[in-house]
Chains A and B, each alone.
Chain A
């Protein structure tokens, strides 16, 4: 996983003060940009990745050799057109694709942080993104966009740095993690911590790390990204290798095989401790807990919002988005909202969804007219 491929990084000299009150010294932010920043530096779009994402949102991911996670949406001539826009995507704080996280070397001890890494929040992630954006010389982003945890970061940007954002596009997300969402994350974390290799987060000298636990965590999470209908449509009760039951505990059903594949391919590219830290950050997220509640955080916001939700998304259902819309309406904000009909569940935001892409494209084009780029 640790590669020889050069990764763009920003070194932040001053210690970062975290929401918890702790500090991170010599924090690094790994990032990737696409397209060209214009002279006035007004055409930048910050793309925020989800839990398991990374900075390689477009083109081919140099590490996995697969398409970037939002390549379907970002690139020359695409919905987020890199002929027009300068796209920035950074690996989140706590991640494992080059940004400082639990697998990084602690400058004080010269060993991996492990659980010595301080607990981080969505707000901390956005804090270091803001440093990156500023370091790139950008005073105001044309847009911030992201789905799921990326949507949380987008909302955080739109509230914390509303003067640095023209347009915010939160997708398949919420203003807070629900009890059910926290519950699923906790099962994932318990799976990792129950793996003996995990060793209280101190596994970096082992060859593989707690791959068993991490892969179970991924399998559980992956189910929450799909929908019952999509699972039935794709797999049904189809058997994997034969027409008969094996009468043992090998893989009988296609869905089992699919989940195992999701698990095993995930552990190749993801650090188990990062998974613990990032899921925790999502669980802690709650914009409505801020003083004055949800309507207060959006008050007098000049940000243009466009929200998307998906009908079959039960992880971040439309009702969550509607709660935010309600607050934005009551604070007179500029907000658009579209619910896309699909059976693909939460993952729909990453997939080919023509209506979603058409509306998003329309919205972005509409906004180009409103803001000088």
Chain B
């Protein structure tokens, strides 16, 4: 089962405790939710914008709503979930700041993963080639990319600080999807990053 799961999703799954109540925002075909349902007995919900994604999810018996995270997260009550997951999606949001605030409102914590735009090869593309960066997780051309709000891991940390968001955990992944040690060079060396965040003043 693990084989079918993207490496970053598997690392996210390791952060989930048994029987947690999960909302996966942008759950795609539901592979992570399905995995969490089977291995962690998690109570799973999902939001997915694409019809084909929703179809795949409901075929797996998952409870998934077709919707747009930019607008539909407002409908969820506070603290409805123990963890809300947003994997590789934040950079495509129209209102990433509102979405992040919603995630930590709905969930006691949020797990957010994204491609690190501070990665040295990304910087190299722009500096040496003078071209918009492209790689496996940023595969699009400048004109057709859905990724309209890319950020570096430093940007994200500053955002959290400015918005009173607590970073509970910070994980860096290499280009091969292997967990790396985090240090002061993470923003340069991490290919993608996973943040566990929560709001301040929680009970």
Neighbouring B residues of A326 by C-beta, 8 Å: 75
Could you tell me if A337 and B61 are in contact, using CB atoms closer than 8 angstroms? no
Indicate whether B19 reaches chain A with its CB closer than 8 angstroms.
no
Stretch of A108-116, A173-181, A239-247, A358-366 with 4 or more beta carbons under 8 angstroms from chain B: A358-366
Partner of B62, one of A329, A336, A337, A338: A336
- List of A residues within 8 angstroms of B75 by Cβ: 322, 325-326, 329-330
B58's contact among A329, A330, A340, A366, by CB below 8 Å, is which?
A: A366
Q: When the two chains form their complex, are residues A366 and B77 in contact, meaning their CB atoms are under 8 A apart? A: no
User: Which parts of B50-74 form the interface with A (CB within 8 Å)?
Assistant: 51, 54-67
A355 contacts B by Cβ under 8 Å: yes
Q: Are B62 and A355 in contact (CB under 8 A)?
A: no
Q: Is the CB of B55 within 8 A of A369?
A: no
Q: Is the interface of B mostly helix, strand, loop or mixed?
A: mixed
With A and B bound together, what is the CA distance between A358 and B53 in angstroms? 12
Report which of A330, A365, A369 forms a contact with B76, defined as CB distance below 8 A. Answer: A330
Task: Mark out the residues of chain A between 326 and 353 whose CB falls within 8 Å of any chain B CB in the assembled complex.
Answer: 326, 329-330, 332, 334-341
Measured between beta carbons, the chain B residues less than 8 angstroms from A334 are 63
Interface string of A66-90 (1 = CB under 8 A from B): 0000000000000000000000000
Q: Does B137 contact A (CB under 8 A)?
A: no
List the A side residues contacting B132 at CB < 8 Å.
Answer: none
How many B residues face the partner with a CB closer than 8 A? 20
B residues near A39, Cβ cutoff 8 Å: none
Contact digits for B151-179, partner A, Cβ 8 Å, 1 yes 0 no: 00000000000000000000000000000
B contact residues around A262 at 8 Å (CB):
none
* Chain A residues within 8 Å of B62, by CB: 336, 366
B80: CB under 8 A from chain A?
Answer: yes
**Mask for B33-65, Cβ within 8 A of A = 1, else 0?**
000000000000100000100111111111111
Measured between C-beta atoms, what is the minimum distance from A373 to chain B in Å? 13
B72 to chain A, nearest CB (A): 8
B42 to chain A, nearest CB (A): 13
In the bound assembly, the distance between CA atoms of A122 and B33 in angstroms comes to: 37
Residues of A within 8 A of B63 (CB): 304-305, 334-336
Q: How far is the CA of A337 from the CA of B54 in the complex (A)?
A: 8
Structural contact, B51 and A337, CB atoms closer than 8 A: no
CB-CB under 8 A from B60, the residues of chain A are: 366
Question: Are A338 and B61 in contact, CB atoms less than 8 angstroms apart?
Answer: no
B55:A358 contact, CB within 8 angstroms: yes
Contact of B65 among A330, A337, A363 (CB under 8 A): A337
Contacting pair A363 B66 (CB below 8 A)? no
Which of chain B's residues have a CB closer than 8 A to the CB of A359?
51, 54-55, 58
User: Which among B58, B59, B76 has the highest number of chain A CB atoms within 10 Å?
Assistant: B58
With an 8 A cutoff between CB atoms, is A306 at the interface? yes
CA of A338 to CA of B59 in the docked complex: distance in angstroms? 13
Q: B76 to A338, Cβ gap below 8 A?
A: no
Residue A367 CB within 8 A of the other chain: yes
Give the complex CA separation of A365 and B67 in angstroms.
22
Knowing A366-B62, A367-B61 touch, does A338 contact B80 (C-beta < 8 A)? no
Q: In the bound complex, what is the Cα–Cα distance between A326 and B62 (angstroms)?
A: 18
Q: Does A207 contact B (CB under 8 A)?
A: no
Interface string of B79-105 (1 = CB under 8 A from A): 010000000000000000000000000
**Is A13 engaged at the interface, CB distance under 8 Å to the other chain?**
no
With A330-B80, A355-B51, A359-B54 as known contacts, state yes or no: A337 contacts B67, CB within 8 Å. Answer: yes
Q: Are B61 and A370 in contact (CB under 8 A)?
A: yes
- Rounded to whole angstroms, the CA-CA distance of A103 and B103 in the bound complex is 56
Give A40 to B13 CA distance when docked, in angstroms: 38
A325 / chain B contacts, CB cutoff of 8 Å: 65, 75
Which B residue's beta carbon lies closest to that of A309?
Answer: B66
Q: Within the assembled complex, what's the spacing in Å between the Cα atoms of A325 and B66?
A: 10
Task: Chain B residues near A363: list those with CB within 8 A.
Answer: 58-59
Query: A residues near B, CB below 8 A?
Result: 304-306, 322, 325-326, 329-330, 332, 334-341, 355, 358-359, 362-363, 365-367, 369-370
Q: Which 8 A-B pairs have the closest CB atoms?
A: A366-B61, A362-B59, A363-B58, A326-B75, A337-B65, A334-B63, A330-B77, A359-B55
13 A-B pairs with CB atoms under 8 Å apart are: A306-B58, A325-B75, A330-B75, A335-B63, A335-B65, A336-B57, A336-B65, A337-B66, A338-B66, A362-B55, A366-B58, A366-B59, A369-B61
